[in-house]
Amino acid sequence: RKEVEQDPGPFNVPEGATVAFNCTYSNSASQSFFWYRQDCRKEPKLLMSVYSSGNEDGRFTAQLNRASQYISLLIRDSKLSDSATYLCAVSHGSSNTGKLIFGQGTTLQVKP
Amino acid sequence: EAQVTQNPRYLITVTGKKLTVTCSQNMNHEYMSWYRQDPGLGLRQIYYSMNVEVTDKGDVPEGYKVSRKEKRNFPLILESPSPNQTSLYFCASRARGGLTDTQYFGPGTRLTVL
């Protein structure tokens, strides 16, 4: 079993839809959580960190559920420009190695 | 402009011919790492470095070497490339001090080994 798992999709949604992705992690010692966005085999870019209390940035909301060991990303009012692959990343943080473990990514395709 | 650069961006080579992919960052970051990305497998860490002259293996280090002689540079060396090293490679850097610091990725190097 992979340490960080995501449904690869693709998720095909119409413009304006609300879409949610989940990412599960297996190591209960995980301490830091992130969502990255990757466009068409370009480099991943940090979309948002995920805090214990949940956090929101415009149309994007990230949440953490430690009990069930998953993080989620909610995108409201989807735009065509949201089409991309969304990677979740998790770290254990037990030592300051900065090692991030990535899921394989979830592909989102927003259609007109 | 804060950035991580990699060269070359695209490379086609043959089995056994040594190659080096360079990585440089201008943000004075202590921490640098190399990843490879393959379909269905996601990003996997090859090697990382916490500072000059300090390097360590990631999850898939076999067939790769790195060096960190200067803070800004972190080259990836394939002494004898094989077809299973055909992949998309990313270099990344971040400031040491916690995982809340943003990790910046380079633009990627697409390597094909024939």
- From chain A, the residues in CB contact with B41 under 8 A are 104
Q: Residues of A with CB below 8 A from B93's CB?
A: none
> Comparing B83 with A9, which gets the higher pLDDT?
B83
Which two tokens mark A60? 């994007």
Q: What are the pLDDT digits (tens) for B73-102?
A: 999 999 999 999 999 999 999 876 555 667
Q: Specify the pairing of strand B87-94 against strand B31-38.
A: antiparallel
Secondary structure letter of residue B73 according to DSSP: B
Output the six-digit token pair for A13: 């949604």
Backbone angles phi, psi at A110, to 5 degrees: -100, 125
Contact state of A104 with B40 under an 8 Å Cβ cutoff: yes
**Residue A4 scores a pLDDT above 70:** yes
pLDDT band, residue B20 (cuts 50/70/90): very high
Provide the phi-psi class of B75: left if phi over 0, else alpha when psi is between -120 and 50, else beta.
beta
Q: In what order do the strands lie in the sheet with A55-57?
A: A4-6, A19-25, A70-75, A60-65, A55-57
Q: Whole-angstrom Cα distance, residue B68 to residue B22? A: 11
Taking the Cβ of residue B103 and every Cβ of chain A, the question of whether any pair is shorter than 8 Å is answered with: yes
